[in-house]
Structure 1
């Protein structure tokens, strides 16, 4: 049994490392948003706490995940901020194959966050107002 939990920890670490790398890569690729109030680096930092939930490894988002996303949502003051957050999240999530759309779409409800656009792998960030 010890062997199995050790293997599970290794798998979880690999999954987390992959997600971090994909978000960092995304933040580099989309660094043009750095002149906005919201940066992909900040979005990535906040979103990392939600990895276990959006990959189906936890039954609900942690309080840390919800608090981080609430802070992120409150930092979106303008349409450009909202679009920048959307793009950063979408590109980070799309670069990470373990994320499940059904869990992403539950985050606003489970965390009690009002988000003015659908949370989905298919969200068109350019249509956010």
Structure 2
């Protein structure tokens, strides 16, 4: 039940953020959906599951244009502030543990305009 509440909070956050980025085909809803299989790992309540890595890799592959990358970056940087009991180390290590890299650190302090 707690995971459902967290998912709803993340949903609302991403929905509000999605309207401010233009020229992108990827949405914060897609970013949110990509992270849903990762919630247990990100909250340190479960292992890193293969569906999480597959989903995040697909998101990274879908973000090809500058606009898409900026949307993904801006959505990812706000995740830490919207999910209770989030393990910041798990957030930052997610790409490496899944075997790929993002061009920026997943963090609330990331300046997406600089890295994308």
Q: TM-score, normalised by structure 2?
A: 0.87
Contact 2:63 2:69 in 1 (8 A): yes
Q: Pick one of 27, 50, 62 that aligns with 1:39.
A: 27
Match of 1:57 in 2: 45
Contact 2:9 2:82 in 1 (8 A): yes
Which sections of structure 2, spanning at least 5 residues, go unmatched?
none
Q: SS of the counterpart of 1:98?
A: coil
Give, in whole Å, the separation in 2 of the partners of 1:34 and 1:51: 28
Match of 1:127 in 2: 114
Give, in whole Å, the separation in 2 of the partners of 1:96 and 1:128: 24
How many residues of Structure 1 are paired with residues of Structure 2 in the alignment? Answer: 115
Runs of 4+ in 1 over 4 A off after TM superposition: none
The question of 1:78 aligning with 2:65 is answered yes
Seen in structure 2, the aligned counterparts of structure 1 residues 17 and 35 have a Cα distance that, compared at 3 Å, is: farther
In angstroms, what is the RMSD of aligned CA positions?
1.7
Q: TM-score, normalised by structure 1?
A: 0.79
Match of 1:4 in 2: none
Contact 1:104 1:119 in 2 (8 A): yes
The range that moved more, 80-89 or 43-52, is: 80-89
Larger Rg: 1
Match of 1:3 in 2: none
Contact 2:26 2:71 in 1 (8 A): yes
TM-superposed deviation, 1:104 = 0.8
